[in-house]
Amino acid sequence: MPEFALISLDAVIVAVTDDTPRVLVVTDGGVDALPSGPLDLVAHPTLERGMRSWVVQQTGLSLGYVEQLYTFGDRFRDPREVAGGPRVISAAYLALVREGRLAPGFEAAWADWYAYLPWEDWRAGRPAIIDARILPLLTSWLDRHPEHGERLRQCFGLDGCPWDPERTLERYELLWEAGAVAEAQRESGLALAPGRAMARDHRRILATALGRLRGKLNYRPLVFELLPERFSLGQLQRVVEALAGRALHTQNFRRLVAKGLVEPTGAHTHATGGRPAELFRFRREVVRERPAPGVGMPKASREA
């Protein structure tokens, strides 16, 4: 067993395009993966600068807003350690960008976030796959592990428990423990929950990032990093809904953001196809005026 660890620098790069939350992925052994690479103790003066360097090398994209997401260091979380290699500790970062055309020559692409976590998208109501495919898998697993019954109820909003949009990581980890995702590396032949697999535990990192973003909608104006300088209130609402995975009440949402969070520009757009929509901009002064200038999250709902 190696007596050293490998430090990996991973990036969750998020955009919202045409009302779809998107994540930038690369190819790793024929499977989607997050841009990542090992820390070079000589070439990388900081972890963040090392991560940015790997993103440029693998995708051609130079990042703007970045924050550290989480450090992942569980034993055997990486197949390289399972195969006898070093323990892999990942320092993951979250970056928010506006999607643009990627430079040619890179094996990178934008992918729908909910293709990997389809049970998290409630914009059209409770996803049918939860009752049709996920709950039967977890209920069968629960027969052998009844001690996890309360976790199942809390994570998936059963028996009067509310569905909490921020418990994204807990839901994915429950599916992983049940062997219902391909990344769990359990014996073949098990039925799997819907959703595209990713290399290593990158889908777990993705679930962590989604939960972080949803939580920060309440108290940080991060959503404006995903919007152009001028935007309509309808465009702002659709971006928030895409991240939250929930539909918002339009009038309530507009009353919330109208309280000093945005300001009109005096310009209008005809891109909506109907009446010209007024364009707004983010009031950057609001971060000095309020302790928690977020746009808010839909309240957790109770689902039978």
Same domain for 105 and 16: yes
pLDDT higher than 60, residue 223: yes
pLDDT higher than 70, residue 117: yes
pLDDT higher than 80, residue 187: no
pLDDT tens readout for residues 235-268: 999 999 999 999 999 988 888 776 788 999 999 9
Here the tokens at position 217 are 């909608």
Query: Is residue 213 assigned to a domain?
Result: no
Beta carbons within 10 angstroms of residue 181's beta carbon: 25
Say what the pTM is. 0.91
Same domain for 242 and 164: no
Number of domains observed in the structure of the chain: 3
Last residue of a domain, one of 93, 114, 135: 114
> What pLDDT score was predicted for residue 289?
65
Same domain for 18 and 109: yes
pLDDT higher than 50, residue 79: yes
> What pLDDT score was predicted for residue 293?
63
Same domain for 108 and 10: yes
Same domain for 249 and 180: no
> What pLDDT score was predicted for residue 284?
84
* C-alpha neighbours within 13 Å on the C-beta side of residue 220: 8
Contact between 221 and 282 under an 8 Å Cβ cutoff? The reply is yes
Last residue of a domain, one of 86, 114, 142: 114
Same domain for 130 and 37: no
302 pLDDT band, cuts 50/70/90, is very low
296 pLDDT band, cuts 50/70/90, is low
Q: What is the mean pLDDT of residues 169-174?
A: 96
Q: Mean pLDDT across the chain, nearest whole number?
A: 89
Query: Is residue 256 assigned to a domain?
Result: yes
Instruction: Give backbone dihedrals phi and psi of 31, rounded to 5 degrees, phi first.
Output: -120, 145
Last residue of a domain, one of 80, 114, 148: 114
> What pLDDT score was predicted for residue 132?
96
Nearest to 19 by CA among 181, 232, 196: 232
109 pLDDT band, cuts 50/70/90, is very high
Same domain for 47 and 17: yes
Same domain for 101 and 13: yes
> What pLDDT score was predicted for residue 271?
73
CA distance 71 to 205: 9
Same domain for 109 and 132: no
All residues at 6 or more sequence positions from 261 whose CB lies less than 8 Å from its CB, including other chains: 221, 282, 283, 286, 293, 295
pLDDT higher than 70, residue 1: no
> What pLDDT score was predicted for residue 303?
45
Angle at 12 between CA 8 and CA 14, to 5 degrees: 165
Query: Is residue 165 assigned to a domain?
Result: yes
Query: Is residue 231 assigned to a domain?
Result: yes
Same domain for 130 and 85: no
Query: Is residue 298 assigned to a domain?
Result: yes
Q: CA 201 → CA 22, 80, 266, 274, distances in Å?
A: 18, 12, 47, 45
Beta carbons within 10 angstroms of residue 121's beta carbon: 21
Query: Is residue 180 assigned to a domain?
Result: yes
Query: Is residue 201 assigned to a domain?
Result: no
Same domain for 130 and 110: no
- CATH, residue 96: 3.90.79.10
pLDDT higher than 70, residue 115: yes
Same domain for 152 and 107: no
Contact between 90 and 68 under an 8 Å Cβ cutoff? The reply is no
Contact between 240 and 260 under an 8 Å Cβ cutoff? The reply is no
Q: What is the mean pLDDT of residues 259-283?
A: 85
Which range among 81-85, 155-159, 283-287, 298-302 shows the weakest confidence by mean pLDDT? Answer: 298-302
Which residues form the domain of 165? 125-195
> What pLDDT score was predicted for residue 252?
85
